[in-house]
Every structure is written in structure tokens, then in C-alpha cells.
Structure 1
């Protein structure tokens, strides 16, 4: 069997290592940092993610660490009124076959890392920053920042939105700055008044802003993520932000959302970035997955979900013969491109049209959402939540998503 190099030891990289190693290949994961860990706070996992995690053998462990959410709530952040709710128990779980859950990033990462460490087929290397690659008819050479060269029969770029593999393969420059700044805070749940400890993912929408909160860490922590449409033009990663500054960025807060936002401590700021969809993620024996292939804004809550889907599909199509890798990678590219491109562009559209309207546009949005029944809401998310890549059940995106994905190729 082949030796496969994976650049990047995040969620997507480790999931892919598990997936392709189970086809009999030896895997070397090249992580740029000095340890394997996961930064960041809370993420949401739809049923489609759990189907993929089950294929990878870690679904039960992630479920045991996750908070299984009862409903998604959309609230008017200026009036404190409920606009619409989507129940996530009962009919939802029957329809989609798995829960909707929230986790701290480490609660999905740790099970993947433990499984990778337990595998004799996976080698985990730290301080191994890939800067470039060369390839020939027999394989690929990864050139590291240290000057070392690592040889394998294939290279999978799972090195994130600023991927060096993508830089060489696609060459599309820096990520696209969204103009939105997100402020994140995680606090102990005991600091949250009991009447505000809801087992929901709750979104409060206001004029050119919104914020989301939910429990993580088995319910021990309260995750706050507040986004301001502020026309930011430069990328920012984890910069400290003063509490008063954050609160001033969210005008016209109603009483309840203000109480919630005032709970935040030790705020950190990021300016959100993504990239346009591209048609080609492959270069011979080299292929991209996850954020290296299709980085997306967080508004559809699908970044990690799509990365683990990628891992499963790549493991299913990679085959066993190294000479077939270029064709197998092309097949993977073809199977995943439309779904992930639609998700990227729908996430962008949600940020513009759903979360940040002002004035009459916000009233119209509220009226439209309030008119939808739970069953109609399930219909709208079925193409995302209802796909099961493990058994080949993939639902086409809505027409607008397919058209947007096609437009994004050019």
C-alpha cells in the first residue's frame, strides 16, 4: 500500500488520516505547530456530521461529549421577541437520523486524535510546516520549512484557509475578507442566570449585527459569538477586545440580549474570511480537502461538517493502487465540488440577507421566517442535514445554490 502525506493536523486532517489509513495506506500527518491540539471555542454539528463521524469510528465518543440541542431559535435582537423556532428532537431526529449538537472544538478533535494515535498506520509529526511540494510520475515530495523533504506517493492538503498546498495548486492569493468581525467569549455556566440557561442554539439578529449563544463542554460552559457587519478590510485573528468596546458595537439591543451579551468576558476578535469556490482541487497526486479546498463563513454552521464529509468520501474513492491516485482524486473532486461550493455561497448569502438586514428589510425577514412551519424548515435544511456520505445518500443543494456554485467557478 501507499505512503500518503497529509499537510495539516486539524479536524479535517485527522479525519482524513483515519479514513484513508483504513484502506490499508500508511499516513504521515505533517502538523506545523509544536503540538496536536485544537484552538477556538464552540462549533455546531448537524446530523450529516454525525453520519460521517460514525463511518470514521468516533461518532459515539463525540456524541458522549456533545450537548444535544432541543431547538434552534431565531430572535429579534432589538425587541427580544421570538421570530421562529426549529425543534430538533422528535420529528427532526426521526427524519435525519441523528441529533443536532454543539461541542467545544476539542470535543470533536480529541476523539479523532486518540483514534489516530491508536493506529499503527498513522504517524503524527509536529513542527513540520509544509511550504511547497514537487511531484513526478512516482510520487510527491513535501518541502518543509526546516529544509527537510518528506517523500510519499500522494499529498493531501488539509492545511486550512491559508493553505500552502492551495497556494501552489490554485494560486488564488489571499483569502477574501468578508467585512464582518466576530467577537468570541466562553464563560463558566455558573455565571449565567438560571433563567437564561437554555438548551438551544439561539441567534439574536439586529441592524448589521447578530450574536449566537449555546452551551458547550457538556453544559459546563456558555459560548458567545457576536458578529458585527463593520466593513472590516483586514484579517484579524484572535485579537483581544475590551468588553465595553464589544458592547458598543451592538446598538439597539433589547433587554434580554443585552443581559446575555454583558455576560461575556475576555473577548477575542476575528475578521471573518472565506474564498470563492474553485472548480479544481487536484494536481496529479495532490488534492485539497476541508478549508484548504472550500473555506466558508460560519453562517451555515457547516465548516467542520463538510471537512469530515470530505474525509469519508476521499477514503471511499481513494482505492489501493498508487498509480490510480490522480484519477481517484479527480473523482473525489467531482463528487464534492458542487455540494461544498453551494454551502460556501449559501453561507455568504445567509450573512447578507438573513442575519443583518436593517429596517423594513428586517421586518420582512421576520414575517417570512415566522410564517414557516417546522416541517417547512426541515425541508429547507434537508440538503445539508439529511445527506449521509457514509452510505452514499447525498441530496442536491437547492437550485439557487447550484446556480451560485456554477457562477463561482468562473
Structure 2
């Protein structure tokens, strides 16, 4: 075991979570981030009980709970008819089953929670304005190569730079991510701007043919997060582009007015084109490993991208604590995470096709099956996912 720190490339949720987990085990790390200022773009994210299991392991449970908004249900609506399909109550029974709640939080607030821990820890060093160009392995160490800065050598390197990770590019060489063609528009509005009859304390999904709408409260209920998605067959990736309300509403003529009005109440819409990659069977190269979206980028439909990155961080820190040989630790980390994350990647695609966006007979089957499920049925279906922090599968 080396006295050198572990080098973490990427200061997003996954990278900071890894630094938190390692610090909790007494292991030093250096986090390098390309941006000049650490922060998170985007808006709200949903965090299942498995995320709260991770918060506790990483030492940020109290702060994360203070910033979360605790919703009453996951609510699925038929966007064409405006009718309820099913609800999953997130009540005391749900919490008792999974030992933690389901909640929503602003992405920036979650990032801030992890960053506060890292900034307060003497075992975490953060360097911004550092652009990764690659890595090399040097026997018992690994070296991160940077543009316009000197190389950094550590006992291991964790690539957590997201969908287009340079470390993944060197390690795997699988080129550009898969463009799904699904275009997502996001807006955050004051609660008073949300239609009064839709101010539900729920994560609500309006599912329709080739499209869906999601909304839920954030920041103590003072704002609503709006997400509108349409399968426009876009071929090129786009991230955070401002667009007009007219563009967002294109193709929603077949959607019930009660759902369609949500688009009209949104402001300052921004566009993302969703991308992912196929699951892979290897994320490590000696003392170099991938984490989060760099290892297993997934579509948004399972609401598990950030949760999986935090589970990776839990597992990574666990393995470094329990194995003296760092290369063996990384091999065990991969072994523990590979099947679970691939399952979530694959299910995210399937959920998008068969729950979020089906039409005609497929939609009828969805409505029939899901409307007949009880709260216990839902808990049984989700037990494999929500009952773990990444150490138990």
C-alpha cells in the first residue's frame, strides 16, 4: 500500500462522493476538475432509498436529508387521457421496507453537500482548471497527464469525468456515446407559477407515445422542476441549449390539455439530447478505474444515474479499505459493481420504451399491468434496487 494519494479525475457528484468515501476510510485523494469553479448544471434529481444508504456511508446523511424534499408518491399518469394509471405511496410502510425514504433534491444542493464534506476534510485536495489528457501506469503507481499543468502521480487513478471521459477514451476506445434521439427540455419555475391543480407533492410522470412530462417540487416546495421529453430522432448530442417554448411544445398536440399546459407554464427552457453507452465488461486497467457515467452512462428513465455513481463510491472506498493490494481492490470493485450497473443501464432503456413512451396496444398493456399492482407488489419489484448501498446485491 502506497502513501501516495488516490487521484480522482472529475469533481462532479461521483468524483466527490469517491473522495468522501475514501476520506472516511482515512485515505487521501486529490480531485482534479476541468472547470474553473466546482458546481453542477441541471436541476432536480430523484434519489431513492439506495442513495440515502450511500449518504450515510459517506458521512453526509444529515446534510443530505436536510436539503431533500420528501414527496408522498411516485405517480404515473396516462398523458393521452389525463387519467391515473398507478401510484407508489412513499409512506411509512415504504420507509420501513427500505430503511430510508425516497426524495427529490436539486442537483446543485446534492453536489454542495458532498463538496462541503470534501472542503472540510484534510484528506481531500481539490484542484480546478485541470484538463485531463490521459494516464500512464508505472509499476506501483499511476500518473494522470494534464494539459498546461504538471503530471500528478498517485497510488491509483479513478476516472469520474462523465460521459466523455478521456480516461475511458484511452482505456476502452469506444468513441462517441450512443445518441438516443430523445430530446429533453428542463425548466424550474416558482410554485405559484405551477397550475394549482397540479401542485402535487409527488414525482409525477405523464407517459405518452414518444413523449413524456415529469414534474415535482424542489427547494422546500418553493419551486417546481419540469422535464419534458420527446423522441425527435436527433442524431447529434446537445447539452444545455436555450430553446423557445414553441419548440418544446412541438409534437404534444395528442397529449391531454391537463398535461400539455405544463409546457406553457415553463420558462427559460434548456435542451439536452440524451445519450448512453452499452454496458461493458471491463472498467479497469491496472491501477486505473472508471466510476459513474464514465463507467456506465445510462438514460434518465430509472432515475438512478447519480445513485449508481454514489454506490460506486461506496464500493470503491470499501474495497480500498479491505484489500492491501490496490490492483486487487479495483478488481473487486469492478466485480461487485458490474452486473448491478449493467442491469440498471439495460432497464433504463426498457423503461423508456415500455413505460414512458409506448402507444396503442403496448400502452394498453402497461396501463393494465401497472394499474393492478399493489404497494407491496411495487416494493417487491424494487427491492433489488432500493435495498442496497452498492455493497449488497
What interval of TM-score do these two structures reach, taking the shorter chain for normalisation?
over 0.9
- Find the aligned partners of 2:106 and 2:89 in 1 and give their Cα distance: 22
- Find the aligned partners of 1:261 and 1:213 in 2 and give their Cα distance: 11
Pairwise CA distance, 1:147: 4.5
Pairwise CA distance, 1:138: 2.4
Corresponding position of 1:170: 172
The C-alpha deviation readout for 1:73-107, integer Å capped at 9, x for no partner, is 11011111001111011211110111100000011
Taking the TM superposition and a 5 Å limit, the aligned residue runs for 1:8-407 are: 8-319=10-321, 324-389=325-390, 392-394=391-393
Closer, same or farther in 2 for the Cα pair 1:321/1:257, shift >3 Å? closer
- Find the aligned partners of 1:372 and 1:320 in 2 and give their Cα distance: 41
Q: Secondary structure at the match of 1:68?
A: coil
The C-alpha deviation readout for 1:276-301, integer Å capped at 9, x for no partner, is 11111110010111111111100000
- Find the aligned partners of 1:354 and 1:341 in 2 and give their Cα distance: 19
Deviates more, 1:220-229 or 1:329-338: 220-229
Deviates more, 1:47-56 or 1:367-376: 367-376
Q: Secondary structure at the match of 2:266?
A: coil
Pairwise CA distance, 1:169: 1.0
The C-alpha deviation readout for 1:224-278, integer Å capped at 9, x for no partner, is 1111112111111111111012112322121211222211111111110001111
- Find the aligned partners of 2:152 and 2:242 in 1 and give their Cα distance: 37
Q: In 1, are the aligned partners of 2:162 and 2:293 still within 8 Å (CA)?
A: yes
Q: In 2, are the aligned partners of 1:23 and 1:320 still within 8 Å (CA)?
A: no
TM-score, normalised relative to structure 2: 0.97
- Find the aligned partners of 1:234 and 1:96 in 2 and give their Cα distance: 39
Q: In 2, are the aligned partners of 1:83 and 1:366 still within 8 Å (CA)?
A: yes
- Find the aligned partners of 1:299 and 1:201 in 2 and give their Cα distance: 13
- Find the aligned partners of 1:234 and 1:223 in 2 and give their Cα distance: 25
Corresponding position of 1:407: none
Deviates more, 1:225-234 or 1:292-301: 225-234
Q: Secondary structure at the match of 1:318?
A: helix
Deviates more, 1:376-385 or 1:67-76: 376-385
- Find the aligned partners of 1:348 and 1:157 in 2 and give their Cα distance: 24
Q: Secondary structure at the match of 1:72?
A: strand
Q: Secondary structure at the match of 1:108?
A: helix
Q: Secondary structure at the match of 2:318?
A: helix
Runs of 4+ deviating beyond 3 Å: 319-322
- Find the aligned partners of 2:271 and 2:224 in 1 and give their Cα distance: 17
Q: Secondary structure at the match of 1:166?
A: helix
Pairwise CA distance, 1:46: 0.2
Pairwise CA distance, 1:320: 7.5
Q: In 2, are the aligned partners of 1:2 and 1:25 still within 8 Å (CA)?
A: no
Corresponding position of 1:401: none
- Find the aligned partners of 2:116 and 2:284 in 1 and give their Cα distance: 29
The C-alpha deviation readout for 1:305-340, integer Å capped at 9, x for no partner, is 111111011101113877x11111001000000000
Q: In 2, are the aligned partners of 1:4 and 1:156 still within 8 Å (CA)?
A: yes
Q: In 1, are the aligned partners of 2:24 and 2:59 still within 8 Å (CA)?
A: no
How many aligned positions are there? 391
Q: Secondary structure at the match of 1:25?
A: coil
- Find the aligned partners of 2:215 and 2:350 in 1 and give their Cα distance: 21
Pairwise CA distance, 1:19: 0.9
TM-score, normalised relative to structure 1: 0.93
Give ranges in structure 1 of 5+ residues lacking alignment.
395-410
- Find the aligned partners of 1:81 and 1:194 in 2 and give their Cα distance: 17
Give ranges in structure 2 of 5+ residues lacking alignment.
none
Q: In 2, are the aligned partners of 1:12 and 1:289 still within 8 Å (CA)?
A: yes
